Amino acid sequence: MLKQNTANLLLLLAFSFTVLLAFSPPSFAQQDLAGKVVKRGGTEPIPNVSVINISLKKSNMSDMGGNYKVPGRPGDTILFSSASYQPDTVLVSSYMLDESWLVDLKPKVTLLPTANVEEVSNYQIDSLKRRDEYRSLLDKKHPIRLFDEKTQDDAPGLFISPI
């Protein structure tokens, strides 16, 4: 009788465990936040965006089509960053895990100061002075005539060389 009670108890425990697993909420399972990263104001995908789940310390990169996938749970903080775009963070909600999530990043514009190209710089002044100092050497012809240099004695015709 004791053996049968023990067997029934084990059978009841196994059945309860199976039912518990079958009807457990999906929060125990791994979930992923997935979607696409595009340029703000358009549909142009942004490749190679770093997608980092700060809460879980997991990361991934978007592919050439801007598609990404990273493990996530409701309440996690996800960071999207890429060179030449301003980084953006998202706080994950449960509905975001059920569908593809579109992220648009704003381009990072760096304005450079205006450069006046008409003004002569110190480097240019120094170069002009050195050119004047060494003009006699720079204007001097090389003693060996180069291939493309012509003289007034040159004329079309046959040239025979002993070499």
Got the DSSP string for 48-74?
S-EEEETTTTEEEE--TTSEEEEE--T
Q: Do 76 and 17 contact (CB within 8 A), yes or no? A: no
Report the CATH fold assignment for 30-112: Immunoglobulin-like (2.60.40)
Residue recorded with tokens 């009841």:
12
How far is Cα of residue 159 from the mean position of the Cα atoms in its chain? 61
pTM of the model: 0.54
Q: In the chain, where are the structural domains located? A: 30-112
Q: What is the pLDDT of residues 76-88, one digit of tens each?
A: 999 999 999 999 9
For residue 33, pLDDT over 70 is answered with: yes
Q: What are phi and psi of 26, to 5 degrees?
A: -70, -5
Q: Has residue 141 got a pLDDT over 50?
A: yes
Give the pLDDT of residue 23: 60
